[in-house]
Structure 1
Amino acid sequence: MKKKTLLEELRSGTAPPFIRELAGEENMDPADLVDAMLRGEVVVPYNLCRKISRPCAIGAGTRVKVNANIGTSSDYTGIEEELAKLRAAVEAGADTVMDLSTGGPLDRVREAIVAKSPLPVGSVPIYQAAVRAQEEKGSIVDMTAEDMFRAIEDHCASGVDFITVHCGVTTRVLEALKNNPRVADIVSRGGAFLAGWIIHNGEENPLYENFDRLLEIARRYEVTLSLGDGLRPGCIEDASDAAQVAELVELGRLVKRCREAGVQCMVEGPGHVPLHEVEANVR
Structure 2
Amino acid sequence: MDKTWGSAAEAVADIPDGASLAVGGFGLSGNPTALIEALYAQGTSGLSVASNNCGVDDWGLGILLGAGRIRKVTASYVGENKEFERQFLSGELELELTPQGTLAEKLRAGGAGIAAFFTKTGLGTQVATGGLPRRYDADGSVAVASPEKEVRTFGKGDYVLEEAIVTDFALVHALRGDRHGNLVFNKAARNFNPLAAMSGRVCIAQVEELVEPGELDPDHIHLPGVYVHRMIEVGTDTEKRIERRTVRTEGA
Question: Quick check: which one's strand share is greater?
Answer: 2
Name whichever structure is richer in helix by fraction: 1
TM-score, normalised with respect to structure 1: 0.24
Q: If the length of structure 2 is used for normalisation, what is the TM-score?
A: 0.27
